[in-house]
Amino acid sequence: MGSDFYLQSILPYAGIIIKICRAYTNNQENFEDYYQEVCLQIWRSRNNFNQESDWSTWIYRIALNVCLTQLKRRKKGDKQLVSDVLPEEVIDDSKVFVSDEINQLYNAIKHLSEIDRAVILLYLEEKSYAEIADIIGTNSNNIGVRIKRIKSRLSNYIQQKECSDD
């Protein structure tokens, strides 16, 4: 991948990629693998970008596709699957982010289904329902209801965690 392309077209959106990859991985090694794979896929499919959507939307879509594909591959018996099923207690999150609160939220997000994870990440990034539907590949009719349900599930999970920690 040319360094110019990386610096100009990927790095400014690294935050998006990091957040998505973070939500789909459980350790630093996998996180870095996913991040690199997303960057590579963006570079590979750069010529397919037809400017009908924002570049950032394009990046979201690729990042989600890559993460979901990687997750499926690993679930199918890849030897690296072990790192995906490590219990939370032994996961080293310290290298990726520092905020405990965010870690807590990520842990809650990781308990959602793969698609719900994508929906809530896009919602939290303030994407419109139409954009979320476009990225996910569904219609926007039930996105609102779905988000409401996901938020309540996240809140319950975090509250339960807080109660059990006290």
Partner 1 sequence: MTKSIETMWKQGFINEPHLTAPKINNLYNRKSQNMVDKLQHMFAINIKAIVVGSIIMLLMMSLIGAPWLGLYICVLLAPLVMIAKKELNKSYRLSKGQSSYDYLINFDHWLQSSIANYARYYKVFYPMFFIGMATQAIISNAGGKLISLLVQTLPTNIMLFGLPYYLVLALICLLLVITKYAEAFYRWDLNLIYGQQFKKLKELITDMEELRNEPQ
Residue 152 has which token pair? 């309540």
Residue ranges in 9-142 assigned as alpha helix (H): 14-24, 28-44, 55-75, 81-84, 100-110, 114-124, 129-136
Among 24, 31, 58, 60, which residue sits at the site for partner 1 (rule: CB under 8 A)?
Answer: 31
Residue 34 has which token pair? 């996913």
Give the binding range for partner 1 (CB under 8 A) out of 38-46, 52-60, 63-71, 130-138: 38-46
Question: What would the x/- binding string for partner 1 be over residues 93 to 122, using CB under 8 A?
Answer: ----xxx-xx-xx--------------x--
118 and 136 in contact (C-beta within 8 Å)? yes
Among 57, 124, 138, 140, which residue sits at the site for partner 1 (rule: CB under 8 A)?
Answer: 124
Task: Tell me if 1 contacts partner 1 by CB under 8 A.
Answer: yes
Query: Of the two residues 137 and 162, which places its CB atom closer to partner 1 in the complex?
Result: 162
Smallest gap from Cβ 80 to partner 1, in A, equals 9
Query: Of the two residues 52 and 145, which places its CB atom closer to partner 1 in the complex?
Result: 145
Among 75, 148, 149, 151, which residue sits at the site for partner 1 (rule: CB under 8 A)?
Answer: 151
Query: Of the two residues 40 and 68, which places its CB atom closer to partner 1 in the complex?
Result: 40
Give buried/exposed letters for 40-61 (b at 16+ CB in 10 A, else e): ebbbeeeeeeeeeeeeebbbbb
Among 8, 9, 15, 138, which residue sits at the site for partner 1 (rule: CB under 8 A)?
Answer: 15
Query: Of the two residues 52 and 79, which places its CB atom closer to partner 1 in the complex?
Result: 79
Per-residue CA distances from 123 to 44, 59, 106, 107 (Å): 27, 15, 14, 17
Q: How many CB atoms lie within 10 A of CB 125?
A: 15
Among 27, 40, 84, 140, which residue sits at the site for partner 1 (rule: CB under 8 A)?
Answer: 40
Amino acid of residue 73: R
